[in-house]
Amino acid sequence: MGGFSGMDSGFGTRRRSTVTKGEDIRYDFTLEFSEAIFGAEKEFELSHLETCEVCAGTGGKVGSKMRICSTCGGRGQVMRTEQTPFGLFSQVSVCPNCSGDGEVISEYCRKCSGEGRVRVKKSIKVKVPPGVSTGSILRVAGEGDAGPKGGPPGDLYVYLDVEEIEEIQRDGINLSSKVSISYLDAILGVAVKVNTVEGVTTLQIPPGTQPGDILVLAKKGVPKLNKPSIRGDHIFTIKVTIPNRISSKERELLEELASLSNTTATRSRTRPKVQPATTSTETEVGAVGEKTEEGGDQDDPWKKLKDFAG
């Protein structure tokens, strides 16, 4: 029964009090889209436990003395004995009254009511690095709850959530947007104003741009987290809009342009679900073509159409 004799000798000695670290705190915080990209310094109010300044975390009134725990007799441990089929079995555990200290407070501190800690509200400043995203976690050491009996505090963990914006989407360190242009601008090329995380800038659309083409503004994306010298791109997908209806003047100019391409197909002036154009309509189209051949050297139909469409 050597195991039990060793346990008995240990039971006779008061257990030494250990220092316990305070609990960590989680705080959820929402960032604006641009703040997540470029970083920011944010300030918020946090409620947490701090060591009582009056009793220095002991929980006792200043000048009062500790008294021996009546539950364990100052040993810090209690023994429970049970009868089992194999005989008596004794189990030693930490005293629930004094938490193993062997002593209890005789007079409680009035400020903390014997807890040794008080709840306070504190202003916390957190520096958010560039390139964070939803789910990123920032650790602020020592801003958690204070430990019991003057123990060290835990840490504060700030969980970030980033607001989304409609016109710019994020994929890792790259940003993406869609740009709508008219079919005339797609053919002739145009400079358009686009929104980026750095403000409004000019995007050059080259002539002959097709629907779905990709244009890139290099290094206008998101800085890589912890490596801000590496930055992604802003990618623009081009969407070409074609009008459902055009005026008679626009159609006349388009027919004039079509004649320059030597197109032989017959075109209808009506919607697809309506009956095909009559012979008189075809004659009118031909007449426009003849007019173009006669005056093509004097007027640029592309310019006329562009000027007309604005």
Q: What is the pTM of this model?
A: 0.70
What gap in Å lies between CA 195 and CA 34, rounded to an integer? 12
In this prediction, residue 307 has a pLDDT band, given cuts at 50, 70 and 90, of low
In 113-236, alpha helices (H): 183-188
pLDDT over threshold 80, residue 64: yes
Token pair 């070409």 is at which residue? 240
What gap in Å lies between CA 181 and CA 31, rounded to an integer? 32
pLDDT over threshold 60, residue 242: yes
Tell me if 237 sits within 8 A of 214, measured CB to CB. Answer: yes
pLDDT tens profile 109-149: 999 999 999 999 999 999 999 999 999 999 999 999 999 98
pLDDT over threshold 60, residue 178: yes
Token pair 């079919």 is at which residue? 183
Phi, psi dihedral angles at 259 (to 5 degrees): -65, -30
List the end-to-end C-alpha distance of the chain, in Å, as a whole number.
102
Confidence at residue 294, expressed as pLDDT on a 0 to 100 scale = 45
The residue that leads in pLDDT, 230 or 76, is 230
Amino acid, res. 85: P
pLDDT over threshold 50, residue 230: yes
Confidence at residue 306, expressed as pLDDT on a 0 to 100 scale = 63
CATH number of 169-241: 2.60.260.20
Provide DSSP, 88-144. Answer: EEEEEEE-TTTTTSSEEESSB-TTTTTSSEEEEEEEEEEEEPTT--TT-EEEETT-S
In this prediction, residue 174 has a pLDDT band, given cuts at 50, 70 and 90, of very high
What's the average model confidence in pLDDT over 44-49? Answer: 96
Which range is least confidently modeled, 177-181, 190-194, 306-310? 306-310
Residues 177, 182, 183, 186, Cα dihedral to 10°: -50
Q: What share of the chain is helix, strand, coil (3-state, %, to 5)?
A: 20, 35, 45
pLDDT tens profile 87-109: 788 888 999 888 888 888 889 99
What's the average model confidence in pLDDT over 246-265? Answer: 79
Percentage, residues of the chain above pLDDT 70: 78
Phi, psi dihedral angles at 119 (to 5 degrees): -90, 130
The residue that leads in pLDDT, 41 or 103, is 41
69: Cβ–Cβ under 8 A, 6 or more apart, which residues? 76, 95, 97, 98, 101, 102, 103, 104
Domain residue spans in the chain?
Answer: 2-162, 169-241, 248-309
What gap in Å lies between CA 308 and CA 289, rounded to an integer? 19
pLDDT over threshold 90, residue 43: yes
- CA separation, residue 138 to residues 27, 54, 107 (Å): 10, 32, 41
Confidence at residue 53, expressed as pLDDT on a 0 to 100 scale = 93
In this prediction, residue 65 has a pLDDT band, given cuts at 50, 70 and 90, of confident
In this prediction, residue 265 has a pLDDT band, given cuts at 50, 70 and 90, of low
Confidence at residue 270, expressed as pLDDT on a 0 to 100 scale = 53
CATH number of 2-162: 2.10.230.10
